[in-house]
């Protein structure tokens, strides 16, 4: 097979959707060749840097991705940021098609006073920090306060809560970053208050994650039964939702459980929204959060929205983690839908933002295609749909100006980019696993870009 004549595809982002797009493409077009780019030296996106470090079973999905990295039709090109080291137009010059799978790495904000005080941060940043993401090595969340408030009742909020409430011994068996392990072991946080703007029936956490909160070694879960009074409208809204019904049952079990007098407490509260974060006497650090009580109001579509009642309460807290969702960002040269923070597309085919015409040869999959929802497996169906769209287009009709695989590497070398290939990643992986084995942990991660690059060189 002449490589220059094969279908050459660039995939931008080595998270789950990038791997699933590559897998589907190679399955359906065995003669295709793929370059898989990532801005980080290490692959796997949020599986490495988002999924909780104490959920190793979930992280083991990377075994499937490792098999793809060993396929000689796929070249991993890590530490290459598209939009900076390579432009979208460079990709057009070198590939028949590009699938953008670069995720949704930004956080959503609350838009309330005090959000930028020291001690108030996004769960996005905190999660990246405890997972050893090299861009967050300097976060230093200062865990010297007694009370942390977690805003949001989804699985990311539960991850953050669990990590804050676990003991050193519980965390040490995970692949949490070394600095985070030390900081959390010395944490003064004793009370973690989790709040949802809607009621207990509307919380978005999964039953398994919720139940896990009740299984921690040294943390009681406190739920006020008064908070679990569910209106007829809420009951009707979840009548066909078995997850929500099971979640309510778990909450009722937790509320009925007597506190064991453990050293940490997790409080689950509902129908409250933060309206302001107050500073301490220095004017720079979080000291308290003003919460407004909500009631639920039916929308036209039958769902229930939270509406403020004007009744407020003040909660003393020194740390605030907002966990109210992720959002995508624009990539230079690529259309972007500001309203939904996704790349506009039709079944994965990129559309121009203004008139919605297809952009030849450009595709999207994963979170940047459909927004930050779903579990890892959701990205598989999403990527398969995109690849079907791609293969239904007349791609060989788009001839790249320079399809020689060596040309992209030469371009990156001229631009001074230190590329990490699959062998480089294997050296990082082996070194991390080796360091972990020495101390009885799954791996010890390199926490800076320099350390990752040095390890990739061996």
Ligand X SMILES: Cc1cc2nc3c(=O)[nH]c(=O)nc-3n(C[C@H](O)[C@H](O)[C@H](O)COP(=O)(O)OP(=O)(O)OC[C@H]3O[C@@H](n4cnc5c(N)ncnc54)[C@H](O)[C@@H]3O)c2cc1C
Neighbours of 111 (CB within 10 A): 6
Q: How far apart are the first and last CA of the chain?
A: 32
Q: Does 375 participate in binding ligand X (rule CB under 6 A)?
A: yes
Q: CB of 190: closest distance to ligand X in angstroms?
A: 24
Torsion of CA 378, 381, 387, 392, to 10 degrees: -140
Q: Does 363 bind ligand X (CB under 6 A)?
A: no
What is the closest distance, in whole angstroms, from the C-beta atom of residue 455 to ligand X in the complex?
17
Phi and psi torsions of 113, nearest 5°: -60, 140
Token couple for 441 = 């942990």
Task: Return d(Cα 280, Cα 270) in angstroms, integer.
Answer: 26
Among 30, 186, 356, 374, binds ligand X (CB under 6 A): 374
Contact (CB, 8 A) for 109 and 323: no
Whether 243 and 251 have beta carbons less than 8 Å apart is answered as no
155-184 binders of ligand X (CB under 6 A): 156, 159
Considering only residues 20 to 59 of the shown chain, the ones binding ligand X according to CB under 6 A are: 37-40, 45-47, 50-51, 55, 58
**Cα distance between residue 100 and residue 14, in whole Å:** 10
* Tokens representing residue 321 in the block: 């983690």
**Per CB under 6 A, 367 contacts ligand X:** yes
Task: Report which residue's Cβ sits closest to ligand X.
Answer: 15
Binding to ligand X in span 94-123, by CB under 6 A: 101-103
Which CB, 50 or 141, lies closer to ligand X?
Answer: 50
Q: Name the residue nearer to ligand X (CB basis): 157 or 271.
A: 157
78 near ligand X, judged by CB under 6 A: no
Contact flag: residue 364 with ligand X (CB under 6 A): no
* Options 14-22, 113-121, 169-177, 251-259: segment touching ligand X (CB under 6 A): 14-22
Quote the CA–CA distance of 58 and 51 in Å, as a whole number: 8
HSE, side-chain direction, 13 A CA sphere, residue 69: 24
Please say which residue, 294 or 456, places its beta carbon nearer to ligand X: 456
Stretch that binds ligand X, among 88-96, 223-231, 269-277, 372-380 (CB under 6 A): 372-380
Q: How far is the CB of 309 from ligand X (least distance, A)?
A: 31
Part in contact with ligand X (CB under 6 A); list of ranges 11-19, 69-77, 298-306, 339-347: 11-19
- Range 164-167, long-range pairs (CB < 8 A, 24+ positions): 164/189, 164/192, 165/192, 165/213, 165/216, 165/218, 165/219, 165/264, 165/266, 166/54, 166/216, 166/217, 166/219, 167/217, 167/218
How far is it, in rounded angstroms, from Cα 223 to Cα 383?
A: 40
Q: Which of 10, 17, 68, 453 binds ligand X (CB under 6 A)?
A: 17
Among 10-18, 91-99, 302-310, 419-427, the segment contacting ligand X (CB under 6 A) = 10-18
Site string for ligand X, 230-249 (x = CB under 6 A): --------------------
CB of 322 to ligand X, least distance (A): 13
Minimum CB separation of residue 78 from ligand X in Å reads: 9
Give 10 or 304: the residue with its C-beta nearer to ligand X.
10
57 Cβ contact partners less than 8 Å away, ≥ 6 residues apart: none
Could you give the CA distance from residue 251 to residue 229 in angstroms, rounded to a whole number?
Answer: 11
Mark residues 298-337: x for contact with ligand X by CB under 6 A, - for none. ----------------------------x----x------
Q: Does 356 bind ligand X (CB under 6 A)?
A: no
Q: Is residue 341 involved in binding ligand X (CB under 6 A)?
A: no
Residues 120, 161, 273, 379: which binds ligand X (CB under 6 A)? 379
Per DSSP, the three-state class of 340 is: coil
Pairing status of strand 345-346 against strand 349-351? antiparallel
**Alpha-carbon span 269 to 317, nearest angstrom:** 15
Q: Answer whether 376's CB lies under 8 Å from 16's CB.
A: yes
Assess 14 for contact with ligand X (CB under 6 A): yes
CB 157 within 8 A of CB 194: yes
Which of 83, 371, 405, 442 binds ligand X (CB under 6 A)? It is 83
Instruction: List the interface residues with ligand X, window 419-438 (CB under 6 A).
Output: none
User: What's the CA gap between 458 and 455, in Å, rounded?
Assistant: 5
Residue 362 parent element (H or E): strand 358-364
**Interacting residues with ligand X (CB under 6 A):** 12-18, 37-40, 45-47, 50-51, 55, 58, 81-83, 101-103, 127, 156, 159, 326, 331, 366-367, 374-376, 379
């Amino acid at each position: 097979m002449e490589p220059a004549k094969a279908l050459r595809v660039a995939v931008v982002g080595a998270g789950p959707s990038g791997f699933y797009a590559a897998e589907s493409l190679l399955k359906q077009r065995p003669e295709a060749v793929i370059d898989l780019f990532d801005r980080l030296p290490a692959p796997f996106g949020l599986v490495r840097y988002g999924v909780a470090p104490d959920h190793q079973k979930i992280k083991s999905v990377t075994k499937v991705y490792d098999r793809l990295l060993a396929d000689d039709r796929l070249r991993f090109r890590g530490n290459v940021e598209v939009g900076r080291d390579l432009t979208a137009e460079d990709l057009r010059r070198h590939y028949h098609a590009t699938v953008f799978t670069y995720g949704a790495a930004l956080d959503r904000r609350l838009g309330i006073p005090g959000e930028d005080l020291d001690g108030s941060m996004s769960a996005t940043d905190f999660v990246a920090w405890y997972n050893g993401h090299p861009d967050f090595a300097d976060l230093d969340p200062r865990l010297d306060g007694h009370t942390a408030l977690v805003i949001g009742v989804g699985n990311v909020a539960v991850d953050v809560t669990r990590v804050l409430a676990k003991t050193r011994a519980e965390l040490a068996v995970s692949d949490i970053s070394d600095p985070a392990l030390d900081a959390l072991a010395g944490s003064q946080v004793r009370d973690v208050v989790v709040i949802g703007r809607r009621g207990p029936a509307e919380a978005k956490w999964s039953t398994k994650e919720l139940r896990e909160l009740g299984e921690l070694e040294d943390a009681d879960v406190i739920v006020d039964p008064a908070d679990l009074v569910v209106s007829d409208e809420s009951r009707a809204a979840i009548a066909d939702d078995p997850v929500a019904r099971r979640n309510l049952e778990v909450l009722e079990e937790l509320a009925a459980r007597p506190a064991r007098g453990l050293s940490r407490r997790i409080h689950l509260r509902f129908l409250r929204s933060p309206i302001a974060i107050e500073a301490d006497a220095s004017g720079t650090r979080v000291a308290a959060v003003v919460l407004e009580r909500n009631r639920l109001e039916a929308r036209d579509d039958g769902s229930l929205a939270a509406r403020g009642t004007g009744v407020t309460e003040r909660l003393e807290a020194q740390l605030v983690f907002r966990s109210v969702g992720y959002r995508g960002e624009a990539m230079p040269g690529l259309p972007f839908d500001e309203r939904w923070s996704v790349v506009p597309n039709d079944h994965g085919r990129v559309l121009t933002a203004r008139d919605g015409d297809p952009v030849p040869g450009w595709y999207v999959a994963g979170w940047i295609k459909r927004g930050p929802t779903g579990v890892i497996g959701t990205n598989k169906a999403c990527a398969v749909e995109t690849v079907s769209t791609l293969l239904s287009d007349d791609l060989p009709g788009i001839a790249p100006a320079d399809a020689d695989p060596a040309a992209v590497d030469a371009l990156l070398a001229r631009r001074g980019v230190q590329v990490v290939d699959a062998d480089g990643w294997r050296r990082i992986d082996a070194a991390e696993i080796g360091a972990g084995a020495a101390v009885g942990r799954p791996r010890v991660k390199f926490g800076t870009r320099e350390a990752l690059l040095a390890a990739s060189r061996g």
